[in-house]
């Protein structure tokens, strides 16, 4: 193999595929990035067997070929090269020589044949959606994935496409997060439970550009994300997702409208009074025009009042403030509506257009 | 005690004194910041017994008094308060109540009497110098402090004032770093070996503003830095500093002038090929118009050429690249002059005006 490419393109490609290089593995070849030159492109591939990423960069291909290079070292080396053209040449015994300006370096490669290539997936259906939308939605739901091993589906984002909608749902034992966006065009129903890590990696690779699109391709065991010159192939989590519809109730006894920033900052302060050994809840006392937010722990007592608009009954209800903080942080509305039924019923934060629903379970509390 | 101050001022003061709060200590009171109200000021003090910092902030003092508060919790709380006025009131049993907008919080304080106050130091001489200069000089020498316990003086910055000059020197077993700046006015000789941590803390607290001055006061066992409303009192390292003059030789066999950025980037690349278990040196082969820089290790072989201007003999000499990198990173000149004698003699990087001298010992090498 002999190719010439720009440092900038190569580094961008390496950073993209690096997310599929496992941090820890006993299989040396998985720590490598596969570099294949073909036509006028270099194809970079990394694969931790659950997630594989492939990206193409422009290059002058003098001789086609393929080699595997240890990802971390090769990426640091390229990052430290001058901003210039880089020539990559593979030789005998998988050795690789790089040239860049007045620099020459010989580094050991690995046998490309032992590399585990990306699976060949027969996809059934696909959807085209803005990269920006996907990135936003992931960030808006991914925090309520459960890292417990009790239930595999809890470790995933439930991705649904139906009619002209894309929906992402996550849940752990204490909350549910749902985001919905509209699509251009009508689609048949497609669903997939995508591992949380895949979604986080995807959100970090895709552009924040509203105008750039991506294609999501569904199959039984895999999901594929295609954008620009990059393809991510991920295994999906098998099984059925939870039936959450019954949890998203419409009835309520109390509805409040509150300034989001004020509530968030207040809960952030209250959360400071909690520590691992003293997990006290924040108690909210909701009356006609005001919410009193109180937390009492060994660290002290904090009391704060925020003006609200209220419909329905007064209520006293307690929460782990972190769960509310996580939801409020990703809501962009200036004012949020919170719906409650009883002190021991799930509480719902949702907008009137149905773009988001955050359900949070309250916790028990004792009056001091 | 009852005082009112702005969140901004209080937070700034807390951040300043926080550097004297020990990260780990078995003495609970050292984890506290002392808050004393007096006249129209709040005086904040922290003291880890080696270093003490005191800073004054403007306040409305309704009732004079003093209280100690756990530093980390109190700082996070203040950081999370609304940008508004804060009222601090101490009550019975060292309890403290804070008010800020519609928030009220009661937190436990600690008995101020058990706080270890700053030592009362009789200073002998002092110097006035720009904060910017001191901060720059610290950053330019502090990296070659030795963290070994073999020799206490190696853990300090040797600070000298004499004539119209301020000089800082550090050394470990492998290198010496010297920075000199001019002062406004003539001073008698004053010297002190200041612990590295004190200097690092100082550099992080003082402003980067060229126009702001500070006063450094010397005494036998302490050094005091005074700037704006802040005073840092640090113990000094006892004993004599090393006689380094004989190491700063003027004679050389080879002198090269080289582009600093090119050399630094080249050494950064070469350093990638070193790992803990395979500490190979970078070998420099200096001929008339070029330096060949080579490092060979298990990770590979890297070879790079840089154009130079040379005076004197050709030379081949080897270094731990990290030592050269540390020095080059803090030199602002575009071109640096490097002076060498023999492959096993110290090498010197210095400017013609005598503002900096970096001496680096070479290492042994074998030809491959």
pLDDT for B108-124, tens place per residue? Answer: 999 999 999 999 999 88
Q: Taking 70 as the threshold, does the pLDDT of residue A17 lie above it?
A: yes
Query: Does residue A97 lie in a domain region?
Result: yes
Q: Is A293 on the interface with B (CB under 8 A)?
A: no
B140 and B237, same domain (yes or no): yes
Mutation site, A91, A96, A102, interface B, largest B CB count within 10 A: A102
The ipTM (two decimal places) reads 0.90
In whole angstroms, give the CA distance from residue A249 to residue B169.
71
Task: Summarize the confidence of residues B93-109 as an average pLDDT.
Answer: 96
Model confidence at A3, pLDDT cuts 50, 70, 90, reads: very high
Residue environment code for A27-66, b if the CB has 16+ CB neighbours within 10 A, otherwise e: eebbbbbbbbbeeebbbbbbbbeebbbbbbbebebeeebb
Tell me which residue range forms the domain holding B342: 249-360
Chain B residues inside the 8 Å CB shell of A81:
269
Are A109 and A140 found together in one domain?
Answer: no
The more confidently predicted of residues B26 and B342 is B342
Mean pLDDT of chain B: 95
- Answer yes or no: do A103 and B302 touch at CB < 8 A: yes
Question: Would you say residue B367 lies in a domain?
Answer: no
The model's pLDDT over A125-135, given as tens digits with 9 standing for 90+, comes to 999 999 999 99
From chain B, the residues in CB contact with A77 under 8 A are 269, 272
Find, in chain B, the residue whose alpha carbon is nearest to that of A295: B105
| Nearest C-alpha in A relative to B96 | A300
Q: Are residues A309 and A207 in the same domain?
A: no
Flag whether A368 is in a domain.
Answer: no
B107: closest CA of chain A, how far (Å)? 4
CA B306 to chain centroid: 33
What was the pLDDT predicted at A368? 62
With beta carbons under 8 A apart, name residues in chain B contacting A300: 105-108
B301 lies in a domain?
yes
Does A367 have pLDDT greater than 80?
A: no
User: Which residue bears the tokens 């990059």?
Assistant: A230
Instruction: Give the mutation candidate from B269, B291, B296, B306 for the A interface (greatest A CB count, under 10 A).
Output: B269
How far B59 CA sits from the closest chain A CA (Å)? 23
Interface contact flag, A299 B107, Cβ < 8 Å? yes
Q: Based on the fold, state whether residues B135 and B60 are members of the same structural domain.
A: no
Contact A286, A308 (CB under 8 A): yes
**CA dihedral sign of residues A124, A130, A131, A136:** negative
Integer CA distances (angstroms), B325 to B35, B260, B267, in order? 43, 10, 7
pLDDT at A148 over 90: no
Q: How confident is the model at residue B147 (pLDDT cuts 50, 70, 90)?
A: confident
Joined tokens for residue A84: 């210039």
Task: Choose, out of A78, A103, A305, the residue to mutate when testing the contact with B (most B CBs < 10 Å).
Answer: A103
Instruction: Tell me the pLDDT tens digit for each residue of A242-281.
Output: 999 888 888 999 999 999 999 999 999 999 999 888 889 9
Residues B248-266 have a mean pLDDT of 95
Residue located via tokens 């993209």: A16
The answer to whether B20 touches B53, Cβ cutoff 8 Å, is yes
Q: With contacts defined as CB-CB under 8 Å, which chain B residues touch A275?
A: none
A301 touches chain B (CB under 8 A): yes
Min Cα–Cα distance to chain A from B243, Å: 39
Contacts of B303 in chain A (CB under 8 A): 103-105
The pLDDT value given to residue B69:
97
Of A288, A272, A255, give the one whose Cα is nearest residue B79: A272
Looking at residue B76, its pLDDT comes to 97
pLDDT at B323 (0 to 100)? 97
Question: What backbone torsions phi and psi does residue A108 show, to the nearest 5 degrees?
Answer: -75, 135
What integer is the mean pLDDT of A308-322? 98
Q: Which residue in the set A73, A266, A269 is minimally distant from B77, CB to CB?
A: A269
Task: Check which CATH number belongs to the domain holding A223 and give it.
Answer: 3.10.150.10
Question: Can you name the residues that pair with B259 across neighbouring β-strands?
Answer: B335
In a domain, B6, yes or no: yes
Distance from the Cα of B196 to chain A's closest Cα (Å) equals: 31
State whether B94 and B160 are in the same domain. Answer: no
Reported for B72-78, long-range contacts at CB under 8 A and 24+ positions apart, including other chains, are B72/B21, B72/B31, B73/A272, B73/A299, B73/B107, B74/B14, B74/B33, B74/B107, B75/B11, B75/B14, B75/B15, B75/B18, B75/B33, B76/A272, B77/A269, B77/A272, B77/B105, B77/B107, B78/B7, B78/B10, B78/B11, B78/B14
Confidence bin at B367 (pLDDT 50/70/90): confident
d(CA B56, CA B13): 7
Do A210 and A284 belong together in one domain?
no
Query: Buried b vs exposed e over B115-145: b needs ≥16 C-beta within 10 Å?
Result: beebeeeeeeeebebbbbbbbbbbbbbbbbb
Q: Over range A140-169, report the average pLDDT.
A: 94
Q: Does A302 touch chain B (CB under 8 A)?
A: yes
Confidence (pLDDT) at B3: 98
- Characterize the bridge pairing of strands B335-340 and A315-319: unpaired
One domain for residues B107 and B78:
yes
Per-residue pLDDT at A124: 82
HEC states along chain B?
CEEEEEHHHHHHHHHHHHHHCCCCCCCHHHHEEEEEEECCEEEEEEECCCEEEEEEEECEEEECEEEEEEHHHHHHHHHCCCCCEEEEEECHHHEEEEEECCEEEEEECECHHHCCCCCCCCCCEEEEEEHHHHHHHHHHHHHHCCCCCCCHHHHEEEEEEEEEEEEEEEEECCEEEEEEEEEEEEEEEEEEEEEHHHHHHHHHHCCCCCCCEEEEEECCCEEEEEECCEEEEEECCCCCCCCCHHHCCCCCCEEEEEEHHHHHHHHHHHHCCCECCECCCEEEEECCCEEEEEEEECCEEEEEEEEEEEEECCEEEEECHHHHHHHHHCCCCCEEEEEECCCCCCEEEECCCCCEEEEECCECCCCC
Residue A164 placed within a domain: yes
Per-residue model confidence (pLDDT) at position B368? 62
Q: Model's pTM, two decimal places?
A: 0.93
What's the number of domains chain B is made of? 3
Last residue of a domain, one of A225, A245, A265: A245
| Chain A contact set for B107 (CB, 8 A) | 299-301
The C-alpha of A346 sits at a distance from chain B's nearest C-alpha, in angstroms, of: 27
Residue in chain A nearest B105 by alpha carbon: A302
The span from the CA of B315 to the CA of B312, in Å, is: 9
Examine the pLDDT at A55 and tell me if it is beyond 70. yes
- B272 and A82: CB-CB below 8 Å? no
pLDDT in tens, A78-133: 999 999 999 999 999 999 999 999 999 999 999 999 999 999 999 889 999 999 99
Q: Is B72 on the interface with A (CB under 8 A)?
A: no
The answer on B238 and B265 residing in a single domain is no
CA dist., res. B154 & res. A299, Å (int): 42
Bridge partners of residue B246, in order along the sequence: none
The answer to whether residues B131 and B97 belong to one domain is: no
Q: Which of A108, A269, A300 sits opposite B300 (nearest CB)?
A: A108
Tell whether A268 lies on the interface with B, counting CB pairs under 8 A.
yes
Pair (B277, B229) in one structural domain: no
Three-state SS letters, chain A: CEEEEEHHHHHHHHHHHHHHCCCCCCCHHHHEEEEEEECCEEEEEEECCCEEEEEEEECEEEECEEEEEEHHHHHHHHHCCCCCEEEEEECHHHEEEEEECCEEEEEECECHHHCCCCCCCCCCEEEEEEHHHHHHHHHHHHHHCCCCCCCHHHHEEEEEEEEEEEEEEEEECCEEEEEEEEEEEEEEEEEEEEEHHHHHHHHHHCCCCCCCEEEEEECCCEEEEEECCEEEEEECCCCCCCCCHHHCCCCCCEEEEEEHHHHHHHHHHHHCCCECCECCCEEEEECCCEEEEEEEECCEEEEEEEECEEEECCEEEEECHHHHHHHHHCCCCCEEEEEECCCCCCEEEECCCCCEEEEECCECCCCC
How many inter-chain contacts (A to B, CB under 8 Å) are there? 68
| Alpha carbon of A52: minimum distance to chain B alpha carbons (Å) | 26
Q: Is residue A177 part of a domain?
A: yes
Distance CA B58, CA B363 (A): 56
pLDDT above 70: percentage of residues in chain B:
100
User: In this complex, do B82 and A303 lie within 8 Å of one another by their Cβ atoms?
Assistant: no
Are residues B259 and B351 located together in one domain of the fold?
yes
Q: Is residue A147 predicted with pLDDT exceeding 90?
A: no
CB-based burial, A229-265: b 16+ in 10 Å, e otherwise: bbbbbbbbbeeebeeeeebeeeebebbbebebebbbb
Is A272 within 8 Å of B302 when comparing Cβ atoms?
Answer: no
User: Which among B77, B268, B301 has CB closest to A272?
Assistant: B77
Chain A residue with CA closest to B101: the answer is A304
Give the closest of A76, A108, A272 to B80, CB-based: A272
Residues B104 and B130 in one domain: no
| Chain B nearest C-alpha distance from A299 (Å) | 6
Closest Cα in chain B, distance from residue A284 (Å): 14
Which of A114, A144, A165 terminates a domain? The answer is: A114
| Confidence (pLDDT) at B197 | 96
Inter-chain contact A105–B300, Cβ cutoff 8 Å?
A: yes
Domain termination site, one of A245, A261, A286: A245
- The residue-averaged pLDDT of B147-158 equals 89
Please report whether residue B333 resides in a domain. Answer: yes
Mean pLDDT of B309-317: 98
């Amino acid at each position: 193999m002999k190719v010439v490419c720009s440092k900038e393109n190569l580094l961008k490609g390496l950073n993209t595929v690096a997310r599929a290089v496992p941090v820890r593995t006993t299989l040396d070849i998985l720590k490598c990035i596969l570099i294949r030159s073909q036509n006028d492109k270099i194809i970079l591939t990394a694969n931790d067997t659950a997630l594989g990423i492939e990206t193409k960069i422009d290059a002058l291909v003098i001789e086609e070929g393929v080699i595997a290079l240890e990802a971390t070292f090769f990426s640091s080396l390229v990052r430290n090269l001058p901003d210039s053209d880089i020539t990559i040449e593979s030789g005998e015994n998988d050795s690789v020589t790089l040239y860049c300006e007045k620099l020459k370096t010989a580094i050991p490669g690995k046998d490309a044949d032992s590399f585990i290539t990306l699976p060949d997936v027969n996809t059934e259906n696909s959807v085209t959606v803005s990269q920006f939308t996907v990135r936003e939605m992931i960030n808006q739901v991914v925090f309520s994935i459960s890292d417990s091993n009790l239930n595999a589906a809890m470790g995933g984002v439930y991705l649904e496409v139906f009619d002209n909608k894309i929906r992402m749902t996550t849940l752990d034992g204490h909350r549910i997060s749902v985001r919905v966006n509209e699509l251009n065009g009508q689609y048949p129903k497609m669903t997939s439970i995508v591992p949380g890590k895949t979604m986080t990696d995807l959100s970090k690779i895709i552009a924040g550009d509203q105008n750039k699109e991506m294609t999501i391709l569904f199959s039984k065991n895999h999901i594929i994300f295609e954008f620009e010159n990059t393809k991510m192939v991920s295994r999906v989590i098998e099984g059925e997702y939870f039936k959450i519809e019954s949890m998203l109730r419409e009835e309520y006894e109390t509805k409040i409208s509150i300034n989001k920033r004020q509530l968030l900052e207040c809960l952030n302060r209250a959360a400071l009074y909690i520590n691992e050994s003293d997990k006290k809840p924040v108690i909210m006392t909701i009356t006609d025009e005001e919410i009193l937010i109180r937390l009492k722990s060994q660290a002290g007592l904090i009391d704060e009042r925020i003006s609200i608009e209220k419909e329905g009954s007064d209520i006293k209800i307690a929460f782990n403030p972190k769960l509310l903080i996580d939801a409020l942080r990703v809501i962009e509305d200036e004012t949020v509506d919170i719906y409650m039924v009883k002190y021991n019923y799930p509480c719902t934060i949702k907008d009137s257009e149905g773009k988001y629903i955050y359900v949070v379970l309250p916790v028990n509390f004792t009056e001091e």
